[in-house]
Structure 1
Amino acid sequence: MLDEFLLYFKLGLHHILNIEGLDHILFLVMLIIAYTFKDWKRVLWLVTAFTVGHTLSLILSIYGAVKVNGAIVEFFVLITIFLMALYNIFTAGKNSNKTKSIVLVVSALFFGIIHGLAFAKDFKSMITAGIEDKFLPLVEFTLGIEVAQIIVVVFVLIISFLFQTIFRFSKRDWVMVVSAIVIGVLIPTLIKARFW
């Protein structure tokens, strides 16, 4: 039982913490780059909403409720990162309010669904092939994802803290620079994307 838990938990960790999962990491960075450690509740809400969306799409996939074209979904994963980066640029330095927080949580949930759909086919074949009870492995896998996301979030918050305190970046400049770099990385990939 513990071996099975560790297997799926490690697969969840690996899904996020590997170079092939860079799209997931970039999205998380764009989701939380404007926050600091004192905003931990807001960050937790955003990351959890993203995980819930991701898990929902995996549930729909493993029970055969949804099938998607992988190339199209991969393109839309890139679009989600691009949109979050643009959002950061246009809202950098502006005060957060309740409406903005709700929009971000709903966006994280919806974008989590898109990211989950991108991994659904691999998840279904890799984890649930031949397994009758698919729900428990999904929960174990999701726990691995959540822990990996927390690792990424803590790392990003530490780097943000260092740049904003030691290198004296203003919060606005930090968000703008990181978001612009991500957009710069994404544009060639979006141009090369082929799904038709």
Structure 2
Amino acid sequence: MSVFQTYLQLGFFHIFNLQAYDHLVFLLALCAPYVAAEWRRVVALVTSFTLGHSITLALATLGFVQYNPRIIEILIPITILLTCGLNLRRAGQDTRHQPLVWAAPNLLAAVFGLVHGLGFSSYLRELLGQSSRPVLELLAFNVGVELGQLLIVTLILLLGFVVLRAARAARRDWVLVVSGAAAGIAAVLLLQNLTS
């Protein structure tokens, strides 16, 4: 297996596993307001998030950015709570024809991606060891994370489709329940990180 394939798999399975539940919950909150027919908007959001975390992941892995891991572990659940708060505030509103509403979540996802990228970097630095030029590894890892995220959001959209169609749930109720659950998990995670 090539170096690219190895790090692609590592990136994919780093995001697509239950140990990365904080990032999974963030993706759940990010996707909560959208239905399967809006998959393009969701892909744009996930890609914005990936661009953000790719920047800080590269900078931290290459040693250009120093940070306190404890602060990042506190900030990650805060990004989830803020995303859920935005969802709850906008639940039931029709935002399909408001261009500003299109741009704001993408910008927010990119900014929150900057925080999550620092969270990814400690894991990647452990994998790389003393690698002097990890450019290929960084690229492959980021592509793997993006593929894992796209699979996760596809599953979330499919679950939403089933609940909204089969169970005939109201879209507003779906957003409220999913965002409320994600906020609850994030609040517990935040309290754990603050008290540890």
Assess same fold via TM > 0.5. yes
The aligned runs of 1:21-100 (5 Å cut-off) are 21-96=20-95, 97-100=98-101
Using the TM superposition, name which of 117-126 and 76-85 deviates more. Answer: 117-126
Identity %: 32
Q: Partners in 1 of 2:42 and 2:80 — Cα distance? A: 17
Alpha-carbon contact 2:28-2:182 (below 8 Å) kept: no
Alpha-carbon contact 1:54-1:112 (below 8 Å) kept: yes
Alpha-carbon contact 1:62-1:120 (below 8 Å) kept: yes
Aligned residues: 194
The aligned runs of 1:7-22 (5 Å cut-off) are 7-22=6-21
Q: Partners in 2 of 1:189 and 1:132 — Cα distance? A: 35
Q: Partners in 1 of 2:58 and 2:42 — Cα distance? A: 24
Deviation, structure 1 residue 59:
1.2
**What amino acid does structure 2 have at the position aligned with 1:18?**
N
Q: Partners in 1 of 2:140 and 2:190 — Cα distance? A: 33
The aligned runs of 1:163-174 (5 Å cut-off) are 163-174=163-174
The equivalent of 1:110 in structure 2 is: 111
Deviation, structure 1 residue 195:
7.4
Deviation, structure 1 residue 121:
2.1
The equivalent of 2:152 in structure 1 is: 152
Alpha-carbon contact 1:71-1:195 (below 8 Å) kept: no
Q: Partners in 2 of 1:170 and 1:162 — Cα distance? A: 12
Alpha-carbon contact 1:55-1:116 (below 8 Å) kept: yes
Alpha-carbon contact 2:77-2:187 (below 8 Å) kept: no
Alpha-carbon contact 1:36-1:157 (below 8 Å) kept: yes
The aligned runs of 1:132-147 (5 Å cut-off) are 132-147=132-147
Using the size of structure 1 for normalisation, the TM-score is 0.94
Alignment CA distance shift 1:26-1:50 (3 Å): same
Q: Partners in 1 of 2:195 and 2:5 — Cα distance? A: 36
Deviation, structure 1 residue 187:
2.2
Alpha-carbon contact 1:72-1:195 (below 8 Å) kept: no
SS at match of 2:65: coil
Alpha-carbon contact 1:23-1:77 (below 8 Å) kept: yes
Q: Partners in 2 of 1:90 and 1:38 — Cα distance? A: 22
Q: CA RMSD in A?
A: 1.5
- Gaps spanning 5+ residues in structure 1: where? none
Runs ≥4 residues deviating over 6 A: none
